[in-house]
Amino acid sequence: MTTTPITPVARDRIERLLAAMRGRRVAIVGDIMLDRYLIGDTDRLSPEAPVPVVSVRSSRSTLGGAANVAANVAALGGAALLAGVLGDDAHGALFRTEMAAKELDDRYLVTVADRPTTTKTRVIARGQQVVRIDEERDLPLESNDVARLAVVVDAILASADALVLEDYNKGTLGPALIRELIAMARRRAIPIVVDPKYHHFFDYAGATVFKPNRRELEAALGAAVDLGREPAAMSRARERLSVDNLLVTLGADGMVLVTMDGQQWRVTSRAREVFDVSGAGDTVTAWAATALAAGGSVREAAFLANYAAGVEVGKAGVATVLPGEVLTAYDEQYDAIGRWRRGGAL
> Angle, nearest 10°, between helix axes 143-157 and 175-187?
20
Residue from 272, 236, 269 nearest 252 by CA: 269
Termini Cα distance of the chain? 27
Coil, strand, or helix at residue 182?
A: helix
Coil, strand, or helix at residue 281?
A: helix
29 DSSP β-pair partners: 83, 165
Mark 15-31 as b/e (b = at least 16 C-beta within 10 Å).
eebbebbeebbbbbbbb
In degrees and rounded to multiples of 5, residue 14 shows phi and psi of -60, -45
Long-range contacts, 187-191 (Cβ 8 Å, 24+): 188/157, 188/158, 188/160, 190/157, 190/160, 190/161, 190/162, 190/163, 191/162, 191/163, 191/289, 191/292, 191/293
User: Which CA distances in Å does 215 have to 171, 173, 220?
Assistant: 21, 21, 9
* Residue 108 to residue 26: CA distance in whole angstroms: 13
Q: Please report the sign of the dihedral spanned by the C-alpha atoms of residue 250, residue 251, residue 253, residue 255.
A: positive
Coil, strand, or helix at residue 241?
A: helix
Query: Is-catalytic flag, 282?
Result: yes
**Catalytic residue (choose from 35, 145, 167, 282):** 282
Which residues are marked as active site? 282
